[in-house]
Amino acid sequence: MTAEPADRTDDTALRRFNRTAEIATTDVIRTYSTSFGLATRLLGRRHRQHVRNIYAMVRIADEIVDGVAAEAGLDSTAQTAALASYIEETHRSMRTGYSSDLILHAFARTARECGIGEDLTGPFFASMSADLADDADFTAYDADAHADYVYGSAEVVGLMCLQVFLRGADRTDEELRTLRRGARQLGAAFQNVNFLRDLADDTDRLHRGYLGGSARLTDADRDAWVATVFRQLADAEAAIPLLPKDSRAAVRSALALFAALTRRVAKTPVEVLYRRRVRVPDPIKAVLAGRAVIVTTWERDR
């Protein structure tokens, strides 16, 4: 009887670990976001798991700074240490291609395959760190701080996903500029409308003022932010035809969902936004996803 080569056994073990890591990231998106979960199901098979891996990595970091660590009993110093440890392990796993943390192992594989570097993860973690940096009772973001925070927390995530979509694709420099602007604008739009619908939680539980600094928003402020979000969505929509076809339906679906959410926010008095979260019903999400698939089906490929 001939013994199997050792490298084949090791490869089988690694493949099993990789699959387990992907199951973990898929469970994260399924648990935390029905909207993005639906959108990722519309992605082509070659993109789907990579985007889930990105989402899971950023979701866990966000949870560290948004209350999970605090509810577990960690004080501010321990929360900062937990985030620092997560950052260090993320970047170590990106360099080596391995982590004992299943979420970070999956993300590292995506980062290495798709060319996601610390030029993108660094700004993301800077924004996450900003949420823990101030021990004051209320953290107010002025215009410059808001722009920096949104770039790190959302725009670079759009750029990470773009790295996934464009791997192996050939685009001109002008097309790449349009695509990168679209990815950043879509991320910014998502973040800004989420700030609007999360006014109650951000203000009362997290004690943060992402949109109005220390001042309470008025209906006029809400209208100005809604107009900003719609401009950002328009920029993002203009870039969609330049994406590979097997990524467009998902991006269209997510864009349409957040446009619908923005319209609902626009009709909600700001004092109501300070009391409850606005959402889009699941049947409407399904209709928007279906429309995105139909539109994309009839487009030409790239």
Per-residue tens of pLDDT for the chain, all 302 residues: 334 344 444 568 999 999 999 999 999 999 998 888 888 999 999 999 999 999 999 999 999 999 899 999 999 999 999 999 999 999 999 999 999 999 999 999 999 999 999 999 999 999 999 998 765 578 889 999 999 999 999 999 999 999 999 998 999 999 999 999 999 999 999 999 999 999 999 999 988 999 987 889 999 999 999 999 999 999 999 999 999 999 999 999 999 999 999 999 999 999 999 999 999 999 999 999 999 999 999 988 76
Query: What tokens does 23 get?
Result: 């199951």
Q: Are 93 and 99 in contact (CB under 8 A)?
A: yes
Q: Are 28 and 82 in contact (CB under 8 A)?
A: no
CA separation for the pair 271, 147 (Å, rounded): 25
Per-residue tokens: 85? 């440890």
Where does residue 71 rank: exposed (0-12), middle (13-18), buried (19+ CB within 10 A)? exposed
3-state secondary structure of 249: helix
| Coil vs helix vs strand at 40 | helix
- Half-sphere exposure of residue 54, counting CA atoms within 13 Å on the CB side? 29
Contact 218, 278 (CB under 8 A): no
- For residues 180 and 172, what is the distance between their CA atoms, to the nearest angstrom? 12
Beta bridge partners of 238: none
Task: Report DSSP letters for 89-105, one per residue.
Answer: HHHHHHHHS--SSHHHH
Length of the chain: 302
DSSP state string for 109-124: HHHHHHT--HHHHHHH
3-state secondary structure of 160: helix
Cα–Cα dist 42/277, whole Å = 26
Q: Are 128 and 191 in contact (CB under 8 A)?
A: no
Considering just the CA atoms, what is the radius of gyration of the chain in Å? 20
Cα–Cα distance, 188 to 212 (Å, whole number): 16
Tell me the C-alpha to C-alpha distance, in Å, between residue 3 and each of 9, 12, 16, 56. 10, 15, 21, 39
Residues with Cβ within 8 Å of 23's Cβ and at least 6 positions away in sequence, in order, are none
